[in-house]
């Protein structure tokens, strides 16, 4: 049977529960244990797919085509796990499942109640079988939230059912620092743990977010009032890069605390991969400037996986990557004068499209390395059609239904498999052997994750290739263009998919690695 670690949060939201969960999992992996991860979000949306990036950050997509919270990206990147639709569960999805079962008559006329029907459904998702030693489960929200109470009750029940020594509760809190008085205040942490106890849950370890390390007296005070040993109170100090957090936990013997709770043998961990990243961060190496032409910059996490993938590629190329945020709605060519590469990410809606098209044109004409992702591929195709093929009204039917449709919704999409009209999840792509894409991937067959509704119309292929834009990647049936490139350009490659969802801090991703290599060459 797998052992479970539940991560909860108190005092305020956005304390970094996802990174904490992933870091605890990384410490276990460093000792040879296998780890799976799950996220439970109490909000009432069925999934994050319809939530605005301006409010909630990016929507992450799993291989099996489920739209999830961005924390699953942390789990996959840190742990190398491949998560599924069973690993991202919202309150809305739980209630949907329960009410659908009631309508079908599955409860045989019983009165449907929060306990046991809703709690049982949550516990079903928690205990979905996995072939790993540990399952790390993050409970979203903050202790005290109304919608989160039923999730806390469910994990309390679950711990009693499987045995308290098979479950560990880790609670994240905040110790604010009052600059005027020079005091670090522990009372919010005490109150948060007391609120957790009101739900029948005793924290086994506390991770206290602080601007500095807690003193031994502060740890002792927190431990005394929160009913746990002082050694189980960890300083969640602020760091300049999230990949330093496993090392910070390692330095405070977090694994030893986990091992003591579960009765595991103490062991020295192999933290080499995180030490390599720490060494890279401190290195005196060149910096390349990448212009990201987008529109979701008001929320820092809106391009989280994208930013991470560029950082990973910097590690692989031994260069630092500096990102310049360029607002697509106000784009001018001057915005790109000081960049070594231009990246146009995915997006929905017409806002900013004109600027993204202009950015693709600037990169093409000025031979600046260009990488397009999803919509970034579509705007590159539209720009090429207008300014090279001479089709003045070339466009996507998403933006102009009366224009010449270079980008369209393909009629043979199987909507049942694509979340309505979205193509979601991993799909295969066949790469032409005589192409830049083949040089990048080193194979003819790849699989990448998608999240989009519109496709390039493949019937334009001959005209595009005759004019210099090659379709170098296609769906296996040859109907859906997946990769376009300009062979005569130093680096102009765009994909209909989202490669950032499969980037790793330890290996990068082939397309991002190649793009940053080209940008570094352009910088030199």
The 3-class SS string of 457-496 reads: CHHHHHHHHHHCCEEEEECCCCCCEEEEECCCCCCEEEEC
For residue 429, give the nearest of 369, 366, 384, 484 by alpha carbon: 484
Peptide bond into 221 cis (omega under 30): no
Give the count of alpha carbons within 13 A of 281, CB side only.
14
Q: Are 422 and 453 in contact (CB under 8 A)?
A: yes
Q: Please indicate whether residue 374 is annotated as part of the active site.
A: yes
Q: Please indicate whether residue 308 is annotated as part of the active site.
A: no
d(CA 88, CA 85): 6
d(CA 476, CA 429): 6
E strand residue ranges, 11-162: 35-41, 60-61, 67-68, 88-90, 134-139
Phi/psi of residue 286, nearest 5 degrees: -60, 160
Phi/psi of residue 234, nearest 5 degrees: -110, 140
The active-site residue, picked from 58, 218, 383, 500, is 500
The active-site residue, picked from 24, 336, 374, 429, is 374
CB atoms within 10 A of CB 169: 24
Strand partners, 7: 138, 170
Compute the radius of gyration of the chain from its Cα atoms: 25
The runs of H, that is alpha helices, within 336-460 are 353-366, 375-387, 436-441
d(CA 523, CA 348): 31
Sorted by sequence, the CB contacts under 8 Å of residue 456 that are 6+ apart come out as 377, 378, 381, 406, 407, 471, 480, 481, 484, 496
Q: Please indicate whether residue 500 is annotated as part of the active site.
A: yes
**8-state DSSP, 115:** I
Phi/psi of residue 461, nearest 5 degrees: -55, -50
Give the count of alpha carbons within 13 A of 239, CB side only.
17
Torsion of CA 389, 392, 396, 400, to 10 degrees: -170
Q: How far apart are the first and last CA of the chain?
A: 54
E strand residue ranges, 253-360: 287-294, 320-327, 341-344
Residue corresponding to tokens 């607002």: 327
d(CA 56, CA 41): 12
Q: Which two tokens stand for residue 466?
A: 């005759």
The active-site residue, picked from 171, 261, 450, 498, is 498
Give the active site residues: 374, 498, 500
């Amino acid at each position: 049977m797998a052992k479970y670690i539940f991560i909860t949060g108190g005092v305020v939201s956005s304390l970094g529960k996802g990174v904490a969960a992933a870091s605890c999992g990384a410490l276990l992996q460093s000792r040879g244990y296998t780890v799976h991860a799950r996220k439970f979000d109490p909000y009432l949306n069925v999934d994050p797919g319809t939530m605005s990036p301006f409010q909630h950050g990016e929507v992450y997509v799993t291989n099996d085509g489920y739209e999830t919270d961005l924390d699953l990206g942390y789990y996959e990147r840190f742990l190398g796990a491949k998560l599924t639709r069973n690993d991202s569960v919202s309150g809305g999805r739980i209630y949907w499942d329960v009410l659908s079962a009631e309508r079908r008559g599955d409860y045989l006329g019983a009165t449907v109640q929060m306990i046991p029907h809703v709690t049982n459904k949550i516990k079903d998702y928690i205990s979905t079988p996995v072939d790993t030693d540990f399952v790390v489960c993050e409970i979203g929200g903050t202790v005290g939230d109304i919608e989160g109470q039923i999730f806390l009750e469910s994990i309390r029940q679950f711990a009693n059912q499987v045995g308290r020594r098979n479950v560990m509760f880790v609670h994240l809190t905040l110790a604010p620092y009052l600059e005027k008085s020079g005091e670090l205040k522990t009372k919010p942490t005490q109150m948060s743990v007391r609120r957790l106890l009101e739900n029948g849950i005793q924290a086994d370890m506390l991770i206290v977010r602080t601007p500095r390390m807690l003193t031994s007296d502060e740890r002792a005070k927190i431990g005394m009032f929160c009913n746990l040993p002082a050694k189980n109170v960890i300083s969640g100090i602020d760091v300049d890069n999230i990949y330093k957090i496993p090392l910070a936990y390692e330095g405070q013997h977090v694994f030893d605390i986990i091992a003591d709770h579960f009765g595991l043998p103490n062991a020295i961990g192999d933290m080499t991969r995180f030490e390599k990243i720490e060494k890279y961060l401190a290195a005196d190496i060149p910096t390349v400037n990448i212009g990201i032409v987008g529109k979701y910059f008001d929320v820092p996490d809106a391009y989280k996986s994208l930013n991470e993938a560029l950082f990973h590629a910097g590690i692989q190329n031994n260069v630092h990557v500096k990102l310049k945020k360029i607002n697509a709605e106000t784009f001018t060519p001057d915005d790109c004068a000081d960049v070594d590469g231009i990246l146009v990410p995915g997006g929905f809606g017409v806002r900013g499209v004109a600027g993204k098209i202009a950015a693709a044109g600037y990169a093409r004409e000025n031979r600046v390395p260009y990488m397009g992702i999803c919509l970034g591929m579509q705007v590159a195709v539209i720009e090429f059609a207008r300014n090279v093929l001479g089709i003045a009204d070339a466009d996507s039917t998403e933006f102009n239904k009366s224009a010449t449709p270079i980008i369209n919704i393909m009629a043979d999409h199987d909507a049942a498999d694509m979340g309505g009209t979205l193509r979601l999840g991993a799909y295969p792509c066949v790469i032409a052997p005589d192409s830049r894409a083949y040089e990048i991937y080193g194979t003819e067959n790849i699989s990448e994750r998608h999240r989009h509704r519109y496709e390039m119309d493949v019937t334009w292929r001959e005209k595009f290739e005759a004019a210099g834009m090659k379709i170098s990647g296609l769906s296996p049936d040859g109907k859906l263009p997946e990769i376009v490139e300009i062979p005569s350009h130093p680096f102009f490659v765009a994909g209909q998919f989202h490669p950032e969802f499969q980037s790793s801090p330890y290996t990068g991703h082939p397309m991002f690695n190649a793009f940053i290599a080209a940008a570094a060459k352009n910088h030199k």
